[in-house]
Structure 1
Amino acid sequence: MMEILKALLPSICVGLLFWYVIRNILRADRNEREQVDKYYSEIDANEVDNNSESDVRMNATKTSDYEKSEHGKGNAPRSHG
């Protein structure tokens, strides 16, 4: 029985280390996403407060030739080099 435990111990330790690292990466990602969402919601709330007090009107603008072209749509081939 002791020989089996000695043989499995390195694999168990590596598995626990892997689990710990992945768990911390996922927690950090979740916390960062929450902070980013909080930041952007605060910005949106400030913009709504500022826009409700001003007389700014949003008007549609004409589409430029660049936006109508292949480049404006993002369909142009890209060179990676």
Structure 2
Amino acid sequence: MLDILKALLPSICVGLLFWYVIRNIFRADRNEREQVDKYYSEIDVSESENNSESDVKMTATKTTDHEKSEHGKGNAPRSHG
């Protein structure tokens, strides 16, 4: 019985170490996501307060067909020097 325990002890220790590291990684990720969500919700609240107090309203602008056709074609001048 003691021989079996001696043979399994390293595997058990490595397994416990792996479990501990993975658990801490998941906890850190969860805590970071909570903090990021809290940060962005605070920004949204402060932006909504600022927008309600200002007279300027943001409106979407439309892109012209010419601007759409110029982007992404790769025909901009490039320097080779």
Structures share a fold, TM > 0.5? yes
1:47 aligns with 2:47: yes
Rg larger in structure: 2
The alignment covers a number of residue pairs equal to 70
CA-CA distance at 1:60 after TM superposition: 2.2
Give the Cα separation in 2 of the matches to 1:54 and 1:28: 39
Residue 77 of structure 1 corresponds to: none
Give the Cα separation in 2 of the matches to 1:39 and 1:27: 18
CA-CA distance at 1:62 after TM superposition: 2.1
Residue 76 of structure 1 corresponds to: none
Alignment map for 1:15-26 (pairs within 5 Å)? 15-26=15-26
CA-CA distance at 1:26 after TM superposition: 0.4
1:38 aligns with 2:38: yes
Query: Which aligned segments of 4 or more residues in structure 1 are displaced greater than 2 angstroms?
Result: 68-71
Give the Cα separation in 2 of the matches to 1:9 and 1:17: 12
RMSD value over aligned CA atoms?
A: 1.6
CA change 1:10–1:53 in 2 (3 A) is same
Q: How much identity, in percent, do the aligned residues show?
A: 77
Unaligned runs of 5+ in 2: 73-81
CA-CA distance at 1:57 after TM superposition: 1.3
Q: Give the TM-score, by structure 2 length.
A: 0.78
CA-CA distance at 1:59 after TM superposition: 1.8
CA-CA distance at 1:69 after TM superposition: 5.6
Q: Give the TM-score, by structure 1 length.
A: 0.78
